[in-house]
Amino acid sequence: MERTIMTLAAADQERFAAMGLTTRLVVGMEIHVELATRSKMWTSSPNVAHASFQDAEPNTLTSPVVIGMPGTLPVMNKRAAEMSIMVGLALNCAIARRCHWDRKSYYYPDLPKNYQISQYEEPICGEGYLDIPVDPDRPEGACKRIRITRAHLEEDAGKLMHEAPGGLAIDHSIVDLNRAGTPLLEIVTEPDFGSAEEAVTFSVMLRDLCRHLGVTQGIMQRGHIRFEPNINVVIEKEGQTYKTPIAEIKNLNSFRAVKGSIEHEYVRQVEQWLEDGRVMSAGAKSTRGWDDNKQVTLLQREKEDAHDYRYFPDPDLVDLVVDEAWLDTIRGSMPRPLGEREASWRAAGVGSSEVRQLLDDPGLARLFDEVVGLGVAPKRALSLLLNAGLKWANEYGVSLGDHLSAAQVAGIDGLLSAEKLGSSGAEKLVAALLDPEGGHDGGEPEAVAERLNLLQVSDSGALEAHVDEVLADARNAKAVEDIRGGKDKAVGALLGQIMKKTGGAANPKVVRDLIFGRLRS
């Protein structure tokens, strides 16, 4: 039996096998990535997919071009083209040296022009591929190649809101055109996925890749990346092969929904075929929505074929020409490939959970690489960034990568290595540097630590009086005798008292040496 049928429930496996069926899942993916340019695809109107404008009130990010006023003319966003080429290069795609723009005609309430400027015959990115690990828990193991058919650049439509801002119930729908005209890169794969797990692995890797390239915020809840699996099943029975009609599941914005919708469709399509025997044919495609609560897909409409959109070259736009010099400039602006970075992290001893944290936060990953580049040991860098760093960045609601520099992290590590700073003091120093209202933003770590009295006292002369005072205290007589008797753990109680007396500024190692020196000399 096919490996991918293991995504079915045991009861379904037994039921289909008892009927003499062998089934094979076939999935291709369409992924829509909203590009985080400051302005929209064809106008200088602000782009809601950019962090500066993401919370704009509905219908405030529009322009005559966006709403399709007569006489308006589009002007291409060069940065959107550059971002698209970056993604294409990262996906090993052939980059078109010339491509034109097409009008894709269809009516929908949130598409005022009644057409979308897109690419059909000449996409900006042609054939490519992305290798995914067969076992996501062992990324260094065997891989499967997922072929990229194309990646074309277009504009997004607006959206319909079925509740008022703030979640208030309404008995109508609101058309919000803030998203209309947002640069949208649509990435299309070949039907190379044989399981829901493979589709999810690819989706996660693509999301990570686009975010680390800096072309999108990649916040799935905001619709920055939307996944649309195209699913059908190959069924063999009594030597005959049947292919169920393809169903496209629209606008999924979570990996859980990608997995759930594919697994549900697998069972539903086999059951539908058993009921009506319908197979793939012209006009048999459909689009379906996903009900995340009921974990089922729901029919939306029969799928149009390409000719239904009446594609034709847009008469208002000239061809996009990508010459060698521009392409070289784009290549030179790209960060180190994410796969290489991940491999270097693992080679440095970074664990899988920490790697996942770095992949999930491009700013954190960039900062980590810069800190290590300054000579800080990877594990020490991670300890500072993932413990104190993320804790206080979350507390203050700031981005760690944007509010703490690599030089500051390296400076804190240097203070720790020189025993000028303890672990508690290091956390307090990180908190002070991240506090947006603390007045220490951009400060030199040692100067800030000194200002806040966080530096450790290592001068034995300055600590001897505190040590003598604690040792002379009658309440500590038992601990003193235990230490004299060789019980080293008893020093903890005395050390804690001295740390309290010095406000945590004493160097614990120096204090411990002084206590042992007094009691065992």
Segment 493-510, tens digit of pLDDT = 787 787 776 766 777 777
Q: Where are the beta strands (DSSP E) in 208-342?
A: 225-237, 240-243, 247-249, 286-291, 296-302, 312-313, 320-321
d(CA 32, CA 319) in angstroms, rounded, equals 23
Tokens representing 198 are: 């493979």
Helix or strand holding residue 182 (H, E):
none
**Mind listing the pLDDT tens digit for each residue in 429-479?**
999 999 988 777 778 999 998 888 887 655 566 577 777 777 787 888 887
Residue 27 reports pLDDT greater than 60: yes
* pLDDT for residue 369: 96
pLDDT band at 488 (very low <50, low <70, confident <90, very high): confident
pLDDT tens-digit readout, 293-350: 999 999 998 766 666 789 999 999 999 999 999 999 999 999 999 999 999 999 999 9
Q: pLDDT at residue 20 above 70?
A: yes
- pLDDT of residue 174 exceeding 70, the answer is yes
Q: Is the alpha carbon torsion for 350, 351, 357, 360 positive or negative? A: positive
For the ranges 68-72, 166-170, 179-183, the one whose mean pLDDT is highest: 179-183
Residue pLDDT, tens place only, 111-121: 889 999 999 99
Q: Residue 45: pLDDT above 80?
A: yes
Q: Identify the pLDDT of residue 6.
A: 41
The per-residue pLDDT for 254 is 97
As a whole number of angstroms, the distance between CA 222 and CA 199 comes to 21
According to the model, what pLDDT value does residue 17 have? Answer: 83
How big is the chain by its Cα radius of gyration, in Å?
Answer: 30
DSSP 126-172: -SEEEEEESSTT-TTS-EEEEEEEEEEEEE---EEEEEETTTEEEEE
pTM: 0.86
Residue 392 CA to residue 386 CA, distance in Å, equals 10
At residue 308, the pLDDT reads 79
Average the pLDDT over 399-406 and give the result.
Answer: 90
pLDDT value at position 139?
Answer: 64
- The per-residue pLDDT for 486 is 78
Q: What is the per-residue pLDDT for 517?
A: 74
Report whether 270 contacts 233 (CB < 8 A).
Answer: yes
3-state secondary structure of 84: helix
DSSP 8: S
Q: Which pLDDT score, from 0 to 100, does residue 18 have?
A: 86
What is the rounded distance in angstroms from the CA atom of residue 180 to the CA atom of residue 455? Answer: 54
SS3 236: strand
Query: Residue 1: pLDDT band by 50, 70, 90 thresholds?
Result: very low
Strands 247-249 and 286-291 come out as parallel
In whole angstroms, what is the distance from residue 248 CA to residue 357 CA?
Answer: 32
Query: Which strand (E) or helix (H) includes residue 30?
Result: strand 21-34
pLDDT in tens, 263-274: 999 999 999 999
- Does 162 or 442 have the greater pLDDT score? 162
Q: What is the mean pLDDT of the chain?
A: 89
Tell me the C-alpha distance between 358 and 370, whole Å.
13
Q: Please determine, for residue 385, whether its predicted confidence score (pLDDT) is greater than 90.
A: yes
- Phi, psi for residue 386 in degrees, rounded to 5: -85, -25
| pLDDT over 70, % of the chain | 93
